[in-house]
Structure 1
Amino acid sequence: MKQVLVVDDSLSVRKALEIILKPLSYTVRMADSGEAALAALGEAKVDLVIADVLMPGISGFELCEHIKTDPLHAQTPVVLISGIVSDEERAQATSVGAVQLVKKPFRAEDLLPVVQTALAGRPDEHDAPAAAPSLPSDGLLDALLSKQGIVSALVTSDGKALARRGDPLPDEDTLCQYVRFFASALSVVGTHLEEEWSGALLEYGKRSLLVAPLTARHTLLVVLKDAGASNVAKYVVKTQRPQFEAALSLN
């Protein structure tokens, strides 16, 4: 499980970040100062640091510089947050090696893509590597592709492509990250509505996308020629969800 260190002298900001990151199942550690953050990093490595720029004592810029000059943590990505984001601040953030400077107050939809991009491709050092799940040979995705109006189908696992059938998708890696963020956001909305989300239909010009949860970690993305094919796709996904769950439970 990925570990994120949140550094801010404001308790409310730390709690807000914890709430935003919780749906993605990250382990969130907290520090109320740059000094406390360095002490925490001395105890254990983390996968990402999110730090406020303006703090008493060591600033976020200085903390990032410390991290990037430490051989043990130099590869750890750092995202800085600040109430003031000017060209000068952006240049300073870049000069100390930060991934990005995000303006406060921030929304989940602004911050999460930055966090997920920063973490993309980083090996999880805190868990044993999991075996990649395999779909049954009879091809659950092939059953989808056999229906008229369905262009391609993609199963994502923790923001990465697991299996695909049909036409290739542009910039698939980035798309999978956004599908993961979108699925997490819909899950949070479902919690507030006291209902589990079962799917969402998105329309982009002539192309429509059906996004549906398969398990807690797996999401299905179905690309449709138009919204007219959505009813068939939703029916197939609904009837085959138990088979998907059984296949994906193998990992």
Structure 2
Amino acid sequence: MNLLLLLDEDFLPDGTARLTGRRAQHAREVLRAEPGERLRVGRLGGLVGTGEVLENSEGVLRLSAHLTEAPPPRAGVDLLLAIPRPKALKKVLPAVASLGVDRVVLVNAARVEKSYFDSKVLAAGSIQELLLQGLEQARDTRLPEVLVRERFRPFVEDELDAVLGAQALRLLPHPPARQPLTATRVGTAPRVVLAIGPDGGWVPFEAALLEAHGFQPFTLGPRILRVETAVPVLLGQVALLRDNIPAP
């Protein structure tokens, strides 16, 4: 944990913050923070800074927060993600939060098992806890928005533009494609949407429907990657291509 996240309900009338549970336990048992020490903290949805420890007793951490810095910049990327295996989703959600993704739409697909929708991982509390872990790792404070859609075609045809924006560059990592990511205008696009299929990929109908709605297919190379590997690889490549675009 590289950042203690402070929630609105942690703050007391005197302006100090009182933490309990996992965060207080981490400060006591891992950080071994003593009164007077300063810890890296951030307010969920707000600024980051330092917190001076006022009390660190069994199960309770009280501190005075000094929040003066902006969190890391956003990635400018949204994901349309076929719901992966629950174990994989537990890895993907912290990763997307760490990497600054703004929005994730978890959608059904032909190669998605129906049982995935019954997984406890999709419960709102579970999703938020996984996202918070990613924010703590990256010293960020802004949660990605996560939506779940059980019908692929209606989402693409009826909601895609409203939810993910009509002007974003839409990209489709797809093994049969020949075009590399460098051939797209990803480096200069203000916003990007990546449509990442399940293990096994999008079926031809799904890929064709996405292409009909403006998604450009491209290849990641000859290796076939699992979703939990493909997501951070893709986000890293997008970030790298943007960083390498020279300033005008």
TM-score computed with the length of structure 2 as normaliser: 0.31
Which structure carries more helix by proportion? 1
Higher relative contact order (CA 8 A, sep 6+): 2
Q: Taking structure 1 as the reference length, what is the TM-score of the superposition?
A: 0.30
